Amino acid sequence: MTAIFHPTLYKIVLNNAPQVATSENANSNRPGAERIGYHGGSNWATWSIRKRCQIVGRARDEIASRVDQLTRLSRSEQRTDDAETVASELIPLCDALRWIGKHGRKTLAPRKVGLTGRPVWMWGVRSVVQRVPLGRVLILGTWNYPLLLPGVQMAQALAAGNHVWLKPAPGSEAVSVELVAAFVAAGVPESAVTLLGSSTEAAIEAQSKGVGLVVLTGSAQTGKQVLRQSAETLTPSIVELSGVDAAIALPGADVNRVIDSLAFGLLFNSGATCIGPRRLIILNHPTTSKITHRLIDRLRDANEVSVHPVARSGVADLIDNALENGAEDSLGQYNSERLRNMGKMHPVALQNVPDDHAILQSDVFAPVISIIPVQKIEQAIRMVNECPYRLSASVFGPVSEARECAERLDVGVVTINDMVAPTADPRLPFGGRGQSGFGVTRGPEGLLAMTGCRVIATRRGRGAMHLSPRNDADAELLSGVLQLSHSEGWGRRIAALRRVTTAASRWRALKK
């Protein structure tokens, strides 16, 4: 049968009942393909790393074959452009799955610790560091990117051998079922993935049942609530939260590139992008003098967008208060009532915002940008580093100067002469600082974050001096070993060797 969203399953998910993908919606969508066996209730964690990574990598073929269904099910008031779904979610997701299929095994492989660099007192010991599953990973999905973000997190959790509980965001239930079905059709056991309901209660109940890791993409406020519950059971968490990202325009920046990047980042996905630009910090210089005027002209022609219901009142409150306190609406198209009542707004570019106003340090999930002129680069760096939200930033200018600036920014990701798009590279980790969260997903670091470390140390041979009864030569012998191992210079090492030799002779005599 063709892979089409099953109406009965859709009804159940909307009623917030936990679900798994079943044979009714997990068949491969490729013509002539046969459904892969699922090994019943076998323990996914016991499958080899190679096999798990191969299956997860194979899911990209299933997702590619379902592009039309996934694109259609992703449509919403905020996501009206199918090209955005394909470009910002499906292509990067499939790239990430291919990376796991190709590099996951090596990343997760045990690391042997043998002779090289072994401390002298560890003679006879060889160890191995293993990356082991955490058990059950609870993924709390997001509505603005319901495929890429939970999709990569789920893929990495599964490749690491975990079982996944995926809680979609409200409004993302249908596309989440299709996403899970693609993984099951690729060969992930049905028992390894459970699709929960989309309510807050579903997440709370899942955490209360016990999980090995919580992965959240959401607002800072939601992050605090999740972490409070996680703290009760000391459950580790990875939280990617809100951003108030800045773009810094240095002297010598390509003005066309700055304007194109800002317009793209501000309007992409109706402004509902956590690393979209919210502050434009412009260094005062003849080469940057045209940026503000050019950006305003570009945004004045932009279409109206829909703001998600959960963000409307908060965005309107911030803009209204900023205007009441002296900020200037440079475009003159802002309509507070239309935003509050209908969720519709044109882009807003604010100037003369008071330095201490909340809009400069609040997560605004809409196409709103504040334009801030500064005289010195130190001012720009301080504005970024003192903001509580530090997810990412962009720097525009000559590469050497831009890189020097980037290395002084305390954020998770810095893009130079670009915006948003480079973060989709499957080889790169992604995470923030401050109230933008902690921990990373994606890339090798994100894959390892889905595991715990287990060390197995094996001693061979009969020698184990630490197991012998204490005697009066112990301190002298250990001091000699310390000096022999860590002294610099041949003179000190020779003296240490003599001390060890003398102490060892005395130690053996006392032992008799």
**pLDDT band, very low/low/confident/very high, at 511 (cuts 50, 70, 90):** confident
pLDDT digits (tens, 9 = 90+) for 281-317: 999 999 999 999 999 999 999 999 999 999 999 999 9
Cβ atoms of residues 65 and 3 within 8 Å: yes
Cβ atoms of residues 195 and 20 within 8 Å: yes
pLDDT digits (tens, 9 = 90+) for 385-428: 999 999 999 999 999 999 999 999 999 999 999 999 999 999 99
**pLDDT band, very low/low/confident/very high, at 63 (cuts 50, 70, 90):** very high
When pLDDT is averaged across residues 112-124 and rounded to a whole number, the result is 80
The residues, ordered by sequence, that sit 6+ positions from 359 with a Cβ below 8 Å of its Cβ are: 318, 319, 321, 322, 327, 350, 353, 368, 370
Nearest CA among 135, 133, 91, 126 for reference residue 108: 133
pLDDT digits (tens, 9 = 90+) for 312-342: 999 999 999 999 999 999 999 999 999 999 9
**pLDDT band, very low/low/confident/very high, at 18 (cuts 50, 70, 90):** very low
What are the DSSP calls for 408-432, one per residue?
T--SSEEEES--SGGGG-TTS-B--
When pLDDT is averaged across residues 78-96 and rounded to a whole number, the result is 94
Please report how the helices 148-159 and 173-186 are oriented relative to each other, as an axis angle in degrees rounded to 10: 30
What pLDDT is stored for residue 164 in this prediction? 98
CB atoms within 10 A of CB 240: 26
CB atoms within 10 A of CB 463: 11
**pLDDT band, very low/low/confident/very high, at 41 (cuts 50, 70, 90):** very low
**Measured between alpha carbons, how far is 385 from 410 in angstroms, rounded to an integer?**
6
pLDDT for 495 beyond 70: yes
**Measured between alpha carbons, how far is 359 from 361 in angstroms, rounded to an integer?**
5
Proportion of the chain above pLDDT 70, given as a percent: 92
pLDDT for 9 beyond 50: no
What pLDDT is stored for residue 42 in this prediction? 55
Of 365-374, 392-401, 498-507, the one with minimum mean pLDDT is 498-507
Which three-class secondary structure state does DSSP give residue 208? helix
**Largest distance between two CA atoms of the chain:** 94
Cβ atoms of residues 325 and 357 within 8 Å: yes
CA quadruple 272, 275, 281, 285: dihedral sign? negative
When pLDDT is averaged across residues 147-153 and rounded to a whole number, the result is 97
pLDDT digits (tens, 9 = 90+) for 185-210: 999 999 999 999 999 999 999 999 99
When pLDDT is averaged across residues 355-367 and rounded to a whole number, the result is 93
Distance of alpha carbon 11 from its chain centroid, rounded?
A: 31
Q: What share of the chain is helix, strand, coil (3-state, %, to 5)?
A: 45, 20, 35
When pLDDT is averaged across residues 463-472 and rounded to a whole number, the result is 82
What pLDDT is stored for residue 460 in this prediction? 87
Three-state SS sequence of 78-110: CCCCHHHHHHHHHHHHHHHHHHHHHHHHHHHCC
**pLDDT band, very low/low/confident/very high, at 467 (cuts 50, 70, 90):** confident
Which three-class secondary structure state does DSSP give residue 381? helix
CB atoms within 10 A of CB 225: 15
What pLDDT is stored for residue 29 in this prediction? 47
- 240 strand-pairing partners: 217, 437
What pLDDT is stored for residue 92 in this prediction? 97
What pLDDT is stored for residue 292 in this prediction? 97
pLDDT for 487 beyond 50: yes
474 vs 123, more confident: 474
When pLDDT is averaged across residues 236-255 and rounded to a whole number, the result is 96
The residues, ordered by sequence, that sit 6+ positions from 139 with a Cβ below 8 Å of its Cβ are: 150, 153, 154, 157, 164, 165, 166, 167, 215
**Measured between alpha carbons, how far is 237 from 138 in angstroms, rounded to an integer?**
9
CB atoms within 10 A of CB 359: 24
What pLDDT is stored for residue 288 in this prediction? 95
What pLDDT is stored for residue 16 in this prediction? 39
When pLDDT is averaged across residues 90-108 and rounded to a whole number, the result is 98
**Measured between alpha carbons, how far is 23 from 28 in angstroms, rounded to an integer?**
10
Q: Considering the chain, what is the average pLDDT of its residues?
A: 90
When pLDDT is averaged across residues 353-373 and rounded to a whole number, the result is 95
- CA atoms within a 13 Å half-sphere pointing along the CA-CB vector of 114: 4
DSSP 236: -
Nearest CA among 217, 229, 367 for reference residue 307: 367
**pLDDT band, very low/low/confident/very high, at 64 (cuts 50, 70, 90):** very high
Cβ atoms of residues 440 and 149 within 8 Å: no
369 vs 31, more confident: 369
